[in-house]
Amino acid sequence: MATRLRERSRITAKGQTTVPKAVRQALGVSYGGEIAYVVDEHGVSLSRVETDAQDPVIEAFLAFLAEDMTRNPQAITQIPARLLERVVALTAGVAVDLDEELDGPVAL
């Protein structure tokens, strides 16, 4: 049976409310994320809106790297062989699934 979560939130004079932290965590949304409200005969439910939007911080960092690489191509060098060997040795046998859910509490 799925875990049941019950939280309360007050509605302001402007019709706004704060989504409690426990609910945000359960939905997997944070600042800037979107939620959808579904109202039916059973009541109201919330769900996370899946978007293709990228993280603006990561996008800005990648743009910075691309610009730096364009301006300073001489700074791009190969990883030293000893460092590469060390990385390979340290990560041998470690399986990584970038789509896997995180275990434990996650602060949003």
Mean pLDDT of 8-28: 90
Q: Does 23 share its domain with 7?
A: yes
Q: Does 42 share its domain with 63?
A: no
Residue partners of 29: CB distance under 8 A and separation at least 6: 19, 35, 48, 108
Domain containing residue 15: CATH number: 2.10.260.10
Q: Does 1 share its domain with 17?
A: yes
| Residue 17 placed within a domain | yes
Q: How many Cα atoms are found within 13 Å in the side-chain-facing hemisphere of 1? A: 3
b/e sequence 16-47, b meaning 16+ C-beta within 10 Å? eeeeeeebbeebebeeeeeeeeeeeeeeeeee
Q: Does 43 share its domain with 68?
A: no
| Residue 102 placed within a domain | no
For residue 82, the enclosing domain spans: 56-91
Q: Does 1 share its domain with 46?
A: yes
The pLDDT tens digits for 24-67 are 888 988 888 889 999 999 898 889 888 766 677 888 899 999 99
Q: Does 41 share its domain with 74?
A: no
Please say if the pLDDT value at position 103 is more than 90.
Answer: no
| Residue 31 placed within a domain | yes
Mean pLDDT of 55-80: 90
Q: How many domains does the chain have?
A: 2
Q: Does 37 share its domain with 13?
A: yes
